[in-house]
C-alpha cells in the first residue's frame, strides 16, 4: 500500500522530466545540436590531453613541416610556421566558448533585471529603461567593439566588454515583453494582494516564467556571440597571437589562398560547426518549450 502511494506521488514529477527529454530526444535536429555542443565543450575542456600536438599552441616554429596538407599525422594540415592546425582549432574552441560564457554571463543578468523592472513597474522606469535600450540597439555590436578596441587596446578582455556592453539589449526586450504580459495575471495579483515584496514578485513569481525563453535565447546567442568574436579577431582586434583563435587563424590562413586552402577553410568550418551546434540546440529547446517568438 505504502509503495503504491510513493509511486503515485513521484509519478507526475518523474514523467514530466522524462516527457521533456523524450520529446527533445525525438527531435533529430535538436539532438544533433546537443551532440555538437557536447563535443565542442568536451574537446575544449580536454584540449591538452586529446590533441595530437599540444605544444603547437604557443609560438612554436617548425619550418620543415610548414604548409603541409591534411594527412593522418596532421588532420587539418599545418600552418605557415609548421604548427598542427587541428590542435590549434581545438584550443581555439576554448577561447570561443570562454567569450560566450563571459559575454552572456554579464549580459543576461543585466538584461533580465532591466527587463523585469521595466515590464513590471511601468511608468518612468519603463520609459527610461526601454528608451535607453533603443539607443543601445542602434549601435552595431561589432562597430562598438571596434571603436572600443580603437580607444583601448585590442585584446580579449576589451572585446568581451564591448560585446557585453550592447548584448543585454536583446534580453531586456525579451524579458520586458514577457513581463508585460504576466504583470496582470492572477498569480501576480494574488502575490500583490498577499503583500509580497517587489523583490519576491520579480524574482520568485515572474522570473521563473521567463526561464524557458531565457534558455532558448541563451543557446541561440552563444552561437552569435562566437560569430561576433570570430569576426573581431578576423579583423585583428580580438585575441592576439600566438594564442590560437579561430577567427585569427582564418585571417592568417587567407593570406595563403588558394594554394594552402586548409589553413583558412578548416578553422572557418570549425567556427561554423560550433555556431551550428548552439543554433540547432536553441531551435530544439524552442520547439520543446513552445516559445515561438524567441530569436
Binding-site ranges for other proteins (CB under 8 A): 131-132, 134-144, 146-152, 223, 227-228, 230-231, 234-237, 247, 250-251, 254, 257-258, 261, 264-265, 268, 271-272, 275-276, 279-280, 283, 292, 295
Q: How far is the CB of 104 from other proteins (least distance, A)?
A: 16
How many C-alpha atoms does 262 have within 13 Å on its Cβ side? 18
| Closest CB 143 distance from other proteins, rounded Å | 5
Q: Decide: helix, strand or coil at residue 197.
A: coil
**Cα 220–Cα 221–Cα 227 angle in degrees, nearest 5:** 105
Which residues, including other chains, have CB under 8 Å from residue 130's CB and lie 6 or more apart?
118, 172, 176
Q: Compare residues 65 and 166 and give the one whose CB is closer to other proteins.
A: 166
- Identify which of residues 111 and 268 has a Cβ nearer to other proteins in the complex: 268
Tally of helices (H runs) and strands (E runs) in the chain: 12, 0
- Write the DSSP symbol of residue 78: B
Axis crossing angle, helix 207-234 with helix 141-151, rounded to the nearest 10: 60
How far apart are CB 271 and other proteins at their closest, in Å? 6
Least distance (Å) from other proteins to the CB of residue 101? 19
Nearer to other proteins by Cβ, of 121 and 261: the residue is: 261
CB nearer to other proteins: give 41 or 196.
Answer: 41
The reply to whether omega before 218 is within 30° of 0 (cis) is no
Closest distance to other proteins from the beta carbon of 36 (Å): 11
Amino acid at each position: 500500500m505504502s509503495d503504491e502511494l510513493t509511486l503515485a506521488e513521484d509519478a507526475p514529477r518523474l514523467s514530466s522530466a522524462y516527457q521533456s527529454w523524450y520529446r527533445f530526444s525525438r527531435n533529430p535536429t535538436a539532438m544533433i545540436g546537443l551532440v555538437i555542443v557536447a563535443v565542442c565543450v568536451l574537446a575544449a575542456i580536454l584540449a591538452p590531453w586529446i590533441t595530437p600536438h599540444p605544444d603547437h599552441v604557443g609560438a612554436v616554429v617548425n619550418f620543415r613541416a610548414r604548409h603541409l596538407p591534411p594527412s593522418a599525422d596532421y588532420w587539418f594540415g599545418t600552418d605557415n610556421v609548421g604548427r598542427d592546425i587541428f590542435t590549434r582549432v581545438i584550443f581555439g574552441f576554448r577561447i570561443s566558448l570562454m567569450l560566450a560564457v563571459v559575454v552572456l554571463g554579464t549580459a543576461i543578468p543585466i538584461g533580465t533585471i532591466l527587463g523585469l523592472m521595466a515590464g513590471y513597474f511601468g511608468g518612468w522606469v519603463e520609459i527610461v529603461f526601454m528608451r535607453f535600450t533603443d539607443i543601445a540597439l542602434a549601435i552595431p555590436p561589432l562597430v562598438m567593439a571596434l571603436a572600443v578596441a580603437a580607444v583601448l587596446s585590442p585584446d580579449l578582455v576589451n572585446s568581451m566588454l564591448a560585446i557585453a556592453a550592447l548584448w543585454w539589449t536583446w534580453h531586456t526586450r525579451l524579458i520586458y515583453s514577457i513581463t508585460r504580459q504576466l504583470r496582470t495575471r492572477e498569480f501576480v495579483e494574488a502575490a500583490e494582494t498577499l503583500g509580497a515584496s517587489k523583490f519576491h514578485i520579480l524574482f520568485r513569481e515572474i522570473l521563473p516564467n521567463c526561464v524557458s525563453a531565457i534558455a532558448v535565447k541563451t543557446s541561440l546567442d552563444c552561437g552569435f556571440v562566437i560569430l561576433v568574436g570570430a569576426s573581431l579577431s578576423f579583423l585583428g582586434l580580438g585575441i592576439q597571437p600566438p594564442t590560437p583563435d579561430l577567427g585569427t587563424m582564418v585571417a592568417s590562413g587567407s593570406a595563403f589562398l588558394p594554394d594552402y586552402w586548409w589553413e583558412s577553410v578548416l578553422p572557418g568550418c570549425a567556427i561554423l560547426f560550433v555556431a551550428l551546434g548552439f543554433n540547432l540546440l536553441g531551435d530544439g529547446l524552442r520547439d520543446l518549450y513552445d516559445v515561438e517568438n524567441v530569436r
